[in-house]
Amino acid sequence: MLPPGSKPNLPRRTPVQTGAMPPRSTLPGRSAGLALVAGLLLLFQPPAAGWPAPTLRAVLAESRPDILVASVHSVDSASGTLRLLTGRGHALRIVQVSLPRGVAITRMGAALALSDLKPGMIVRVRFTVESKGEVQQASEVAVQEGGR
């Protein structure tokens, strides 16, 4: 096995050089999408000090904008928070969801407690979204089949 970071046959490793920025184009609809992401970021707080903000636009682009499907990473029943694994390709992110009191958590229609959620379970979290794209709150958590 080669040592990490090695490139035995082609040792060239070009240093980062300075240069001009490529032109950026304005994307139609991008501002609305960014507003929605910004709204979601208000709901999904980074789980610990120092954590980079989570990326959700990728998930939203692939699914309905009011639903996030992700895997449970960990559960904090005391604070009522759920930390979910999501991401795009191998760019993985953890987002933290604060669940308002009384939010329905179900599996195949049966009610669950937050503490019943275990790492590896796939959950479908529904939100209410205002017409401006701002997220109001998580309104439902349902366990999906397919996870651990």
Partner 1 sequence: MSRSRGLLIPLIFSALVASALGCAQHPAKPGDPLPGLTKEQRELFDQGRRVVEKEFTQEQGVGPLFNAPACGECHEDPVAGGSGDELEVHVAVVRDDGTCDPLVERGGPVIQQFATPLLRAAMGIEREPVPAEATVQAGRTTPDLFGFGLLDSVPDATILSYADPEDRNGDGISGRPNRFFDGRLGRFGRKAFVPTLREFNDGAFPVEQGITNPAVLTEESIGGGVIPPGVDPAPEPEIDQPAIDAVDAFVRFLAPPAPKRLSREAKRGRSLFSSIGCAACHVPVFTTGDSPIQPLRYARVAAYTDLLLHDMGPELADICLGLAMPSEFRTEPLMGLSLNSRFLHDGRAATIEQALLLHSGEAAAARDRFKSLPHADRAALLRFLGSL
**Spatial contact of 60 and 36, defined as CB atoms under 8 Å apart:** yes
Question: Considering the rule CB under 8 A, would residue 91 count as an interface residue with partner 1?
Answer: yes
Identified binder of partner 1 from the candidate list 81, 88, 112, 134, rule CB under 8 A: 88
| DSSP state letters, 103-148 | -EEEETTEE--GGG--TT-EEEEEEEE-TTS-EEEEEEEEEETT--
Nearer to partner 1, 9 or 131 (CB): 9
Question: Considering the rule CB under 8 A, would residue 18 count as an interface residue with partner 1?
Answer: yes
Residue type at 100? Answer: P
Question: Considering the rule CB under 8 A, would residue 65 count as an interface residue with partner 1?
Answer: no
Q: Whole-angstrom Cα distance, residue 17 to residue 72? A: 41
Question: Considering the rule CB under 8 A, would residue 1 count as an interface residue with partner 1?
Answer: yes
Helix (H, G, I), strand (E, B) or coil at 32: helix
Question: Considering the rule CB under 8 A, would residue 108 count as an interface residue with partner 1?
Answer: no
DSSP letter for 41, please. Answer: H
Shortest Å, Cβ 139 to partner 1: 19
Shortest Å, Cβ 104 to partner 1: 20
Identified binder of partner 1 from the candidate list 66, 80, 81, 85, rule CB under 8 A: 85
From the CB of residue 56, how many other CB atoms can be counted at a distance below 10 Å? 24
- DSSP strand pairing (104-107 vs 91-98): unpaired
Site residues, partner 1 (CB under 8 A): 1-10, 13-14, 16-22, 24-25, 27, 30, 33-34, 37, 47-48, 50-55, 57-59, 61-63, 69-71, 73, 84-94, 118-120, 122, 144-148
